[in-house]
Amino acid sequence: MHQDSNLDKARKLDESALAAIHDEFYPHVYRYVRYRLEDEQVVEDIASEVFLRFLDALQNKRAEIRDARAWLMGTASNLIHDHLRRKYRRPTGDLEEIEILAGDDAPEHDVERNDTQQQVQAAVRKLTLEQQQVISMRFVLEYSIDETARIMRKTSGAVKVLQFRALAALRRLMESGDQR
Amino acid sequence: MSRIDPDVLNEILERSLLKLQAGQDIPSILKEFPEYREELGPLLETMRAIWSSRGSDTVPLDAMVRSRERLMKAARQAKQAARPSWWRRGTGLLRHAMAPAAAVLACVALLFSGIASAQALPGSALYPMKLAAEQVILALPASPSGQLARKQEYDERRKHEVEELIQLGSHEEVNLSGFLTRGEAGEWLADGLKIEFPADLAPKALELAGQFVLVHAELFDDGRMLAETIEPRVYQVAGRVQKLESGRLMIDDIWVQVGPATQLDGAIQAGRQVEASVTRLVDNTYLALKIELAGSPKPLGGPAKTETPTIREDQPETAETPDGQDIDKHDDADAGDDEQEDEQEHSASPTPRAAVTPTIRPPQSQPNPGLTPTSQDAQDDDEKSGDEEEDGEKDEDQKDGQSDDAKDGDKHDS
C-alpha cells in the first residue's frame, strides 16, 4: 500500500516519493549488479541508470509499472545483459540455448585468484545469462521462486527448472576447476 | 542411476534449499531424502558455495547518493519539460504581444480577456491571459507608488490563488510571494502557507529566512507545496529623488531606506532620476538593495568593461573618488541558477546575498556614505539632471531565461 502510494506520487514526479523508492530499492539493485559484474564503475553506472529508466517509464503511460521492485530488477537484468552482450559481441538469441555465453570474463582480473569467493563468482559468470540471473536472485538476494518468476516473467515451474540446471551447471564448472 | 522424475527432484530441491536457508545442515537434509542423496548433495553444496561467494552486503553510500542526485535532477528536468509553465506561457505571450505594432491591439484584447479571466486559477486555459493582462496594466503609465501598489496587489492575488487551489485539491505549479518564516513546529512558511524545500534548496531557504521572497513551487493535491526555486522578491522603483535624509530617501513619494549594504551606483542627489531595486520589510517599508542613476551604463553579460562608478558628493562633475570607496564592477546579470523566466523584476539580488555584497564600505556610524542628506528640493537640481534623464531608459532588469541545469550528458553506455 505504501509502495503504491509512493508509485502514484512518483508518477507525478514527486521528488520525495522518488527518493523513497530509490533509497528502498537501490541496495537491491546495486548488490544484484555487483554480483553479476566486476567493474565497480560499471556497476554504479548501471545501478543508477536503472532508476533513470524507471523515471522515464513512469512518465510513459503505455509502460505501466505495478510492482516497482520487479520492474527495477528486471531492468537491471536487461542492462546487465546488454552490457555483457556488447562486451563479448555474442549473438543474441534464446538465452536458454546458449550454454556458455559469458566465458572469458575479465581475464586480467581473474588470473591467479584462488580465493573461493572469486572462484565461485567466476564460475557463475560462465553460466548463461538467465542462469546467472536466477542464481543471483535466488541465492544472493534470496528472493522467493514467485518473486524471481515475476521479475523474470516466467512461471514458477520454469524458474525451478532453470534454477536446477543452473546449480547443476555451476557444480560441473566448479568440479572441473574451469572457472577462467 | 535410477530414473528420477525431474519435477519431483525440483520440488525436493526447493524444499531442501529452504531447509538449508533456515539453518539446517546438509547431512541432516540428505537424511530426509535418502533416495535423492546422490543428486541433491552436490546441488546443496553448490548453493552453500554461492552463499559464501556473496561477499559484503554493504552498498557504498556515496554511490547511492550520486544515483539519487542524478535521479532528482532528471525528475526536475522532466517536470520542466512535461508541463511548460503557465508562467512561461503567459509571459511568452506578453513578449510577443508587446511588439510595437501590436501593442495597442494586444492591450485592448488582453484587458478584456483579463476581465474575463479574473477568476482563473493556475492550470486553467484562461490563466495565461490573466497574467498577460496584469502585465499590460503594469505597463500602463502610473506613478511609482501606484506601480508598486499594483505589483503588491498581484502578489496578493497569487497567494489567494494558491489558497483556492489548496481547497480544490489541485496539483499545479504556483508562485507565491511573502515573508519566509518558520512555524512553531519548525516548518517553513511562505506568507503563512506551509512549504517544503528539497535538500538542495534548504541552504538557500536558510539564507533567505525572514526575507520577502518569491517562491516557485509545485502544489500537490494533498495540499503539500514543494519549492522548486526561491529568490528574494525585489521590486523596481524608478523616479526622481525628492528628498534625502540620513538613512533614507524619497523617490516619487515612496520612502526607501538605505542600509549599509545598499549598493549605490553614481552620485545620488536630490532631483536625480534614479532606479532602485527594493524589497519589503516587515513593517511594510522598503529597503533599497541597489540604487543607480537612470540611464547609467550597464554591463551586458559578463565582466564588460564599464566605468567604475564613484561616490560623488553634491558636485558630480568635480568630485574625486574618496579613498576606499571605489566600487567594484557589478555583475547585474546576477547569475542566479533559477531557470524561471518571468517578467517581474526580481533578478536583482538583495542585500544579504553575496552577489550584492556592499561594495562601498561606509564608516560604521553612517548608514551609507553614498547618500548625502540635503535639504535641497528636487526642483533646485533640475537643470543638472535634465540631460541624464532624457536618455534614461527604464531598465527592466530582467533575467534571461536560463535553462534549468546543464544537460546531463553522461548517459552511460551500457
> Are residues B241 and B223 part of one domain?
no
CA distance B134 to A89: 62
B401 inside domain: no
> Are residues B117 and B31 part of one domain?
no
> Is B76 close to A15, i.e. CB distance below 8 A?
yes
Confidence band of A25 (pLDDT split at 50, 70, 90): very high
- Answer whether B279's CB lies under 8 Å from B289's CB: yes
Span B136-189, pLDDT tens digits: 777 777 777 788 888 888 888 888 888 888 888 888 888 888 888 888 888 899
Residues of chain B contacting A120 with CB distance shorter than 8 Å? 49-50, 52-53
CATH number, domain of B183, equals: 2.40.50
Q: What is the pLDDT of residue B84?
A: 54
CATH number, domain of B249, equals: 2.40.50.320
B145, burial (CB in 10 Å: exposed 0-12, middle 13-18, buried 19+): middle
- The C-alpha angle A48, A104, A162, rounded to 5 degrees, equals 70
> Are residues B263 and B322 part of one domain?
yes
> Are residues B182 and B251 part of one domain?
no
> Are residues B151 and B136 part of one domain?
no
Residue A26 has pLDDT above 90, yes or no: yes
Listed by number, the residues of chain A in 35-74 with a beta carbon closer than 8 Å to a beta carbon of chain B are 35, 42, 44-49, 51-52, 55, 59
> Are residues B129 and B154 part of one domain?
no
> Are residues B327 and B255 part of one domain?
yes
CA distance B44 to B175: 63
Q: What is the pLDDT of residue A120?
A: 84
Domain spans of chain A, in order of start: 1-89, 101-180
Q: What is the pLDDT of residue B1?
A: 46
Q: What is the pLDDT of residue B401?
A: 32
Amino acid identity of residue B246, one-letter, is: S
Residue B306 has pLDDT above 50, yes or no: no
- Chain B interface test: which of A38, A52, A79 (most B C-beta within 10 Å): A52
Overall size of chain B counted in residues: 414
- Answer whether B331's CB lies under 8 Å from B348's CB: no
Span A33-68, pLDDT tens digits: 988 888 889 999 999 999 999 999 988 866 678 889
B402 inside domain: no
Please, what CATH class does the domain formed by A1-89 belong to? mainly alpha
B106 inside domain: yes
DSSP helix/strand/coil, B109: helix
Closest CA relative to residue B278, chosen from B332, B343, B350: B350
Fold annotation for A101-180: Arc Repressor Mutant, subunit A (1.10.10)
CA distance B414 to B405: 24
Phi, psi of B262 (to 5 degrees): -65, 135
> Are residues B361 and B246 part of one domain?
yes
B403 inside domain: no
Phi, psi of B326 (to 5 degrees): -65, 150
B370 inside domain: yes
- Chain B interface test: which of A6, A8, A11, A14 (most B C-beta within 10 Å): A14
Confidence band of B296 (pLDDT split at 50, 70, 90): low
Q: What is the DSSP string of A42-109?
A: HHHHHHHHHHHHHHHHHH-TTS--S-HHHHHHHHHHHHHHHHHHHHHTPPPS-GGG-SS-S-S-SHHH
> Is A116 close to B52, i.e. CB distance below 8 A?
yes
* Cβ within 8 Å of residue A166, ≥6 positions away: A127, A131, A132, A134, A135
Confidence band of A180 (pLDDT split at 50, 70, 90): very low
Phi, psi of B39 (to 5 degrees): -85, -40
Number of CB pairs, chain A paired with chain B, less than 8 A apart = 133
Q: What is the pLDDT of residue A125?
A: 86
Residue B327 has pLDDT above 70, yes or no: no
B28, burial (CB in 10 Å: exposed 0-12, middle 13-18, buried 19+): exposed
> Are residues B250 and B358 part of one domain?
yes
> Are residues B379 and B250 part of one domain?
yes
Confidence band of B116 (pLDDT split at 50, 70, 90): low
pTM above 0.80, yes or no: no
Give the number of other CB atoms < 10 A from CB of residue A163: 24
* Cβ within 8 Å of residue B333, ≥6 positions away: B299, B301, B302, B399, B400
Confidence band of A108 (pLDDT split at 50, 70, 90): very low
> Are residues B148 and B136 part of one domain?
no
> Are residues B324 and B243 part of one domain?
yes
Q: Which of B176, B206, B233 is the C-terminal boundary of a domain?
A: B233
Span B229-248, pLDDT tens digits: 898 888 888 888 888 877 88
B152, burial (CB in 10 Å: exposed 0-12, middle 13-18, buried 19+): middle
Indicate the number of domains in chain B. 4
B375 inside domain: yes
Span A123-157, pLDDT tens digits: 888 899 899 999 988 888 888 899 999 999 899 88
**In terms of residue numbers, what domain contains B149?**
144-233
> Is A15 close to B72, i.e. CB distance below 8 A?
yes
Residue B132 has pLDDT above 70, yes or no: yes
Q: What is the DSSP string of B154-179?
A: HHHHHHHHHHHHHHHT--EEEEEEEE
- Answer whether B364's CB lies under 8 Å from B36's CB: no
B64 inside domain: no
Q: Measure Cα distances from B9 to A96, B90, B269, B280 in Å.
A: 20, 70, 97, 79
CA torsion, ordered B312, B313, B319, B323, to nearest 10 deg: -70
CA distance A80 to A94: 16
